[in-house]
Amino acid sequence: IKAYDGEDYSVEERIRITIDNPTDADNIAPIFNQTGWVGTITVFCDANSNAIDRCGEGAVIDLTAFFSDPDGMGEAENDLLFDIFNDATNLDDDNYADYVRISAQGVATYNPPWVQPTSVIADWSLVGLMFEARDSYDSVAYSYKVNVVVVSVAFSAERLDSGAVTATDPATFSGKGLPNSIVAARFDDAKGIRLNSTRVGADGTWTMDIASNQMSGVEEANVIFEMDGQVYSAPGTTADSMFELRSQSADANSGNLLLIIGAIVGVIVLLGAGAFFFQVEYEEFDEDEVMNEAAAPAEDPYAWGKAKQTPVAIPQETATAPAAAASTHPGWLWDETTNSWVPDPNYAPEQ
């Protein structure tokens, strides 16, 4: 509908008029109650899975919670007939009746892997989906539009912090996954002991803490994460991604071990240095002895025969002057200088 004032047209407005001509003139048409109705429903589908439940439960809407029959005889599922409304103004909804299933209880379900002819997740969204409810007298009510957005999600895991793990300071992990699925952390060994688990939230994200008291007494280990039997692998790899966890006591023991190793290495270095200097000094002494031996002439065993004979001089005895005879004359002394007798100055005659 557009209005014209003689100069220009107003903004176009579209109004749907439904002619209700029930077989019973006193019939009251069904009512749609918008309370709690959402305009967008997000469905997460696992990009790395080919399972039929890769999208979980899909999009589920209980139509009986929004439609009612004022003059019905009982429950809405017994009084009303639900169906997909084909909007002539929306070319995208022509096949929606083939994709969305409505049970006898009035529950509408859209699970893309069950019904979609393509495997491309980006083509699985539904835009402008509408429902209708008819009573036994062919009176009808229509719902508001709802968009079902299908999002591809790949299972992921990452550690948000770093360092050693204690009972009060756990390691924190987070990632993405299929809503309502269980994410479990396990040791990567053959036993695969489960350390902790959590459920993926409705927004497709999850978080998990692992403290040292959850490590089953192991001080150091590699941990893997799995969801629905799928072990997380980093993008571009096929091997399981492992996260190393170390308790604080393991770091302490490692530090002590490093100190011990450092001390041992230091002692070995000192001993090696001492042995090196000792070897150097020893080699220097050996070299000096070799040089002295090389400088000394070789001893000739026949040198005595080759040596020049030198006559040995025989010393002659010096004639010694005969000692002077002892003085027989009191008061006199023999003077060797003058070779004569001289008076004794110390002589005193006897009385």
Query: How far is residue 26's CA from residue 175's CA, in Å, rounded to a whole number?
Result: 58
Which pLDDT value is given to residue 204? 92
Would you list the DSSP string of 2-63?
Answer: --B-SS-BPPP----------SSTT----EE--TT--SEEEEEEETT---TTTTTT-EEEEG
- The matching CATH number, chosen from 1.10.8, 1.10.3470, 2.60.40, 2.40.50, for 158-246 is 2.60.40
Residue among 143, 171, 142, 174 nearest 158 (CA): 174
Domain ranges across the chain? 31-152, 158-246
- Nearest Cα to Cα of residue 131 among 43, 40, 62, 57: 62
Q: How far is CA 34 from CA 38, 200, 254, 293, in A?
A: 9, 29, 64, 117
Do 137 and 27 contact (CB within 8 A), yes or no?
yes
pTM given for the model? 0.60
Give the pLDDT of residue 43: 95
- The per-residue pLDDT for 1 is 76
pLDDT of residue 253: 47
CB 177 within 8 A of CB 155: yes
CATH architecture of 31-152: Sandwich (2.60)
Q: What string of pLDDT tens digits covers the 351 residues of the chain?
A: 778 888 888 887 766 666 665 666 678 889 999 999 999 999 999 998 888 889 999 999 999 999 999 887 777 667 899 999 998 888 889 999 999 999 999 999 999 999 999 989 999 999 999 999 999 888 999 999 999 999 999 999 999 999 999 999 999 999 999 999 999 999 988 778 899 999 999 999 999 999 999 988 888 989 999 999 899 999 989 899 999 999 876 544 445 445 667 667 676 767 776 665 555 555 555 555 556 555 555 565 555 555 555 555 555 555 454 444 455 667 778 888 888 888 888 777 765
Residue with tokens 């639900």: 82
Distance between CA atoms of 223 and 196, rounded to whole angstroms?
11
